Structure 1
Amino acid sequence: MVMYRFGFFCSKSDNSLSTNRTINLNNLNYENVEKKVKQNAKELIELLEYSKTNNYPIFRLGNSFVPFISHKLFDMAWLDKLAPIFDETKERLKDFDTRITIHPGQYTVLNSPKENVIENSLRELEMFFWLFDRLGIDDNGTVLIHGRGAYGDKNSALEKLVETIEKEDWLKQRLALENDERVYTAKEILEVCQTTKIPMVFDIYHHSLNLSEFEPKDILKTWQKKRPKVHLSSKGDGKFGNHADFIEAKDFFELEKMFEEESKSIDIMVEAKKKELAIEKLRDEIK
């Protein structure tokens, strides 16, 4: 049986282990940050042990691994005081051959007409890049964002996105872009990635809701020497774009059909609400 490379994000499905323990902003002080970083680091290692045992070679770190790390109220001197936790975590990560990535949230926007929004977004990306470097995560550890808004003029917004990435050349070390379900199609994000020479994470569920035509192998080429990564989820109940608890096998087979033989060497992040349980169920169904 071919063992496809699956992984899940942030925590176990029952939240018994998580890398996303956080605090309220009004409780932001060193003691609270240290407590959460210790807990997140400890549970990260436990999650990686679990992933290793179950052959899940990809894991997405929670954005709150270091709570509010990019916030203006976060004291950068705290990072020096946290050094022992970072050092221990870096050493422990050497025990695992797990690809670690991160996916900043909706407020990380590189094409906003508001310059302060871009500045704050760059700050957040800078701190996630710093964290990955500090933990010794190799350059397969991508930091993924969406194209975000069209702001009434999609072409201009795309040009702004390219302009920001080209101006901030350091972004190319780890940044990747993903197509979304409402604004930017896979074809449009692919063109940005080809222009800026950064990787594209293809999301097949978003593609099903926001269709376009493209050559799948062109997406793989954007990864150059890095291992390609895609997202897999299925339609959930409720509002537009909701993810299901589990993966429908037909959605996996559609992804496999698109990328053919290359599917076996692509990292597949499962974005189902039941996380590791969804992977187990999918593996049973595609044997």
Structure 2
Amino acid sequence: MFELKGIKVGFFCSTADGKITTNRKFRLSNLSYERLMYTVEKNLKDFERLLEISLSLGCGIFRLGSDLVPFASHPSFKKDWLKEVEGKLREFSKTLRKFPIRITMHPGQFVVLNSPKKEVVDASLRELEYHFWVLETLGVGAEGVVVVHAGGVYEDKRESLKRLKNTLRENQWLYRYLAVENDERHYTVRDLLDAELDLPIVFDYYHNRLNPSEFEVSEILQTWSGRVPEFHLSSEPEGKHRFGEHGDWIKVEDLMDFLNHFGGNRIDLILEAKQKEKAVEKLLSELYIYLDVKP
């Protein structure tokens, strides 16, 4: 397994070409028991293939796609269906135990726990309940993480953070797996530290470059209370791109800069590059050349 100064790496959700994926889904209008079961089985089969690819690359972490069970938090999803899906996930947990790979999840931007709209918060909580259920059913223990952003600012950052803290306080179960990530626009690492959310902070290297703040490495590590942190690394794309867009590859210089700050600490690092497993392989090859060592 690849490890450099305590850092283990991994990729997320699917292969670069999307042909092997844990995010296979369909249109909501086509939601049915038969379509659901077929899709879950395909996602689980590909999940195993992605774990095999991860293991062959020496990865120690993998981000599972949020659509493993499509529309599970949607009102149209029938609760009875979960019983059979649960059986499939519990059966797969036996396979999962064969792989020394940490499993985490990262729901989309529509999960907003500090929204001033109750219906948005309620929908976000349902989505997080689903994510937690997936990890628990798969037998993922304390190493499991569900990463979210702090949410919007809504013209008042202080009040928005208060709403987030209130949501956490009213839903203590969130502390089981939830972690919060600094983002590229609104909430810096410093904002999250000062908010005292009692959540682990997922440090995102690229977001911190776009939306920087001052902090000590130890401050972030302490939020994990002895657990191994999950951090994220991506690089700016070449050429014209949207603000915050991730590049196809990881620049070895960015990895080395990350290691200069966090090296020597035990960290699991998701490489958020569009080329996914290919980006892992390319980065490690370039790293061996950069360090002048043999694989």
TM-score between the two structures when normalised by the length of structure 2: 0.93
Which structure has more relative contact order (CA 8 Å, sep 6+)? It is 2
Q: Tell me which residue corresponds to 1:190.
A: 193
Secondary structure of the corresponding residue to residue 67 of structure 2: coil
Q: Tell me which residue corresponds to 2:284.
A: 283
Secondary structure of the corresponding residue to residue 159 of structure 1: helix
Q: Which amino acid aligns with 2:152?
A: G
| Alpha-carbon displacement from aligned partner over 1:260-285 (angstroms, at most 9, x marks no partner) | 321xx210100000111111111122
Q: Which moved more, 1:160-169 or 1:141-150?
A: 160-169
Shift of 1:2: 4.9
Is the contact between residue 57 and residue 281 of structure 2 (CA under 8 Å) also seen in structure 1? no
User: Does residue 260 of structure 1 match 2:263?
Assistant: yes
Shift of 1:59: 0.5
Task: After TM superposition, list the pairs within 5 Å mapping 1:1-287 onto structure 2.
Answer: 2-3=3-4, 4-192=7-195, 195-236=196-237, 237-262=240-265, 265-287=266-288
Identity of aligned residues (%): 43
Is the contact between residue 199 and residue 222 of structure 1 (CA under 8 Å) also seen in structure 2? yes
| Alpha-carbon displacement from aligned partner over 1:115-152 (angstroms, at most 9, x marks no partner) | 11101101110111111111101121100100110001
Secondary structure of the corresponding residue to residue 206 of structure 1: helix
| Alpha-carbon displacement from aligned partner over 1:199-226 (angstroms, at most 9, x marks no partner) | 1100010000001111122111111132
What 5-or-longer segments of structure 2 have no aligned partner? 289-295
Shift of 1:185: 0.7
Secondary structure of the corresponding residue to residue 9 of structure 1: coil
Task: Give the whole-Å Cα distance in 1 for the aligned partners of 2:197 and 2:209.
Answer: 25
Q: Which runs of 4+ in 1 moved over 4 A?
A: none
| Alpha-carbon displacement from aligned partner over 1:206-259 (angstroms, at most 9, x marks no partner) | 000001111122111111132111100001141111111101112111111111
CA RMSD of aligned residues (A): 1.3
Secondary structure of the corresponding residue to residue 68 of structure 2: coil
Task: Give the whole-Å Cα distance in 1 for the aligned partners of 2:70 and 2:263.
Answer: 40
Q: Which amino acid aligns with 2:234?
A: S
Task: Give the whole-Å Cα distance in 2 for the aligned partners of 1:154 and 1:240.
Answer: 21
Task: Give the whole-Å Cα distance in 2 for the aligned partners of 1:7 and 1:72.
Answer: 33
Q: Which amino acid aligns with 2:250?
A: I
TM-score between the two structures when normalised by the length of structure 1: 0.95
Is the contact between residue 166 and residue 196 of structure 1 (CA under 8 Å) also seen in structure 2? no
Shift of 1:110: 0.5
Task: Give the whole-Å Cα distance in 1 for the aligned partners of 2:56 and 2:83.
Answer: 33
**When the two structures are aligned, how many residues end up with a matched partner?**
283
What 5-or-longer segments of structure 1 have no aligned partner? none
Task: Give the whole-Å Cα distance in 1 for the aligned partners of 2:100 and 2:202.
Answer: 21
Is the contact between residue 14 and residue 20 of structure 2 (CA under 8 Å) also seen in structure 1? yes
